[in-house]
Each structure stands twice: as C-alpha cells, then as structure tokens.
Amino acid sequence: MAGIPSSPKIQECTLERTFLKDYRALNLYKIGWSELSQYTRFVYDVYLNSVTDEQPWELTPEDLATMHHEDQTYFPHSVYFGFMNSRNEIVGTMKVTRKTDLVLLPAEVEYGVDVKQLSKEFNISPHRIWHGGRLAVNKQKAKAAGFSSRNMFLELLYHSFRQITQHPGAIFLAEADKRIYELFRRVGVPMEKIGSGKHYMGSEAYPVVISHEGMRNWIEYYLSDVLD
C-alpha cells in the first residue's frame, strides 16, 4: 500500500534451524527462532571470556539484555549462521542483517553512520547494505570437533559473503575492534574503516565496510584455495 515503507525480510527465517552443510563432527545451520536465545547467550559468553589488548571485554547483564533485544528485532531481516556439534551445542556463529526502514543498525545508532550517504557513495539503495556481526567461536569445542577456529571463521565468512552477494551491489557494514579488523585483513578481506572508534560492547571498535567487489573477489580466492 502507498505510504507504507518497504521493509525487506529474509525468506529463510523459520521457527526451527535449517541444515546447510555437514562438516563431519559439526553441522552448519541457519539458526531458527527457537534457538535464537541460545545463540545470543553463546555469543555473549564467548565475548565475556575474550581478551582484547590484554584486557577482558567489559560486558554486563545489561549488554546481554541489549543483545537479546537486537537479535529478536533483527531476526526477520537476518540470517544467523551457527555451527553445532552432535550435542546440539553451538560452537561458532556469525550473522548478516539487511538494512530496512524499520530497523536502525548499530553503526547508525552508535557511530552515526549515514546509510543514505553511504549508499550514494556505492551507488546502491540503503536496502543493499548488510550489517555483519555476532562473530564468535568457542575454540575448545571447535578443537574437540577437529575444526580449527581459523577454518571455522573462514567458513562463516564465506557463507555470510555468499548470502550478501546474491544481491547486486550489496555491501557489508559492521563494527570491528582492532583484533577483528586485523584478522579480516590478514585473511585477505579488504575491510576499510569509515569512521572514528569508540567503546562499544566491551571493546574499542570502528565502523567498517567491505565492498561488493571485495567480497566477490575474496570468495573466488577462498574457493580456489580450498580446491587446490
């Protein structure tokens, strides 16, 4: 109807998780609504036990409540990727959320990123902006399943980029601390800072962007490396 803002939803959203790929001791899923609370708690616990610049992340119960609210709000417009072991425990995660008229992204709220201006710079509509986040890996559980945390990170990145690049011209927007920024750059992802840093969710982070071409080039590079 005229006058109602368009708000694209992700068609894959379901109550239960959707199987994507078998990795022997682990399976990769698109997480469903029924596991979303478990998913959020997993990410929070990994962050709580992480160390950045030799200091633990300073997270609070209020941060967990904020994360739960964000994940529930973003769910209809997101794909939540999750590795799970044979005990149905989450081992690694990453999510991508499509920008909508009804949801403000953290980069907008916390960093003042103007998505309309950003979309103009890339010659796309704001709905071609995807926000990435919730990257977390339980290294001990990954190792127990015969999977290195690095390889799990690369697979999560690959599936997230594939989801985004299905849409012509789509770009990746996120907040990255020093550790994550250096990790992306180290594996060949052309992530670029687009603003000043600030303390957010327990660490100093910056708004960052990855172009459509950058993601496509990385996917080709990653696939050629896997197949060699």
**Residue 9 has what pLDDT?**
67
**Residue 46 has what pLDDT?**
92
Tell how strand 192-193 and strand 203-210 pair up.
Answer: antiparallel
pLDDT in tens, the chain (228 residues): 333 445 666 666 788 999 999 998 999 999 999 999 999 999 999 988 875 555 556 677 888 999 999 999 999 999 999 999 999 999 999 999 999 988 889 899 889 999 999 999 999 999 999 999 999 999 999 999 999 999 999 999 999 999 999 999 999 999 998 888 999 999 999 999 998 877 766 678 899 999 999 999 999 999 887 655
Break the chain into its structural domains and give their ranges. Answer: 18-227
**Residue 17 has what pLDDT?**
94
**Residue 7 has what pLDDT?**
62
pTM for the predicted model, two decimal places: 0.89
Residue 202, amino acid: G
**Residue 120 has what pLDDT?**
96
**Residue 1 has what pLDDT?**
30
- Asked if 89 and 141 count as a contact pair (C-beta separation under 8 A), the reply is yes
**Could you tell me how many residues make up the chain?**
228
**Residue 195 has what pLDDT?**
86
**Residue 3 has what pLDDT?**
37
CA distance 31 to 222: 24
How many other β-carbons are positioned within 10 Å of the β-carbon of residue 80? 27
Residue with tokens 């990123």: 113
CA distance 123 to 187: 27
Tell how strand 55-56 and strand 78-85 pair up.
Answer: unpaired
CATH class of 18-227: alpha beta
**Residue 5 has what pLDDT?**
45
Tell how strand 78-85 and strand 51-52 pair up.
Answer: unpaired
Residue with tokens 């992700």: 10
Handedness of CA 200, 170, 46, 62 (dihedral sign): positive
3-class DSSP state for residue 29?
strand
Instruction: List the one residue out of 214, 170, 176, 218 whose CA is nearest residue 193.
Output: 176
* Strand segments (E) across the chain: 18-23, 26-30, 51-52, 55-56, 78-85, 90-98, 129-137, 171-177, 192-193, 198-200, 203-210
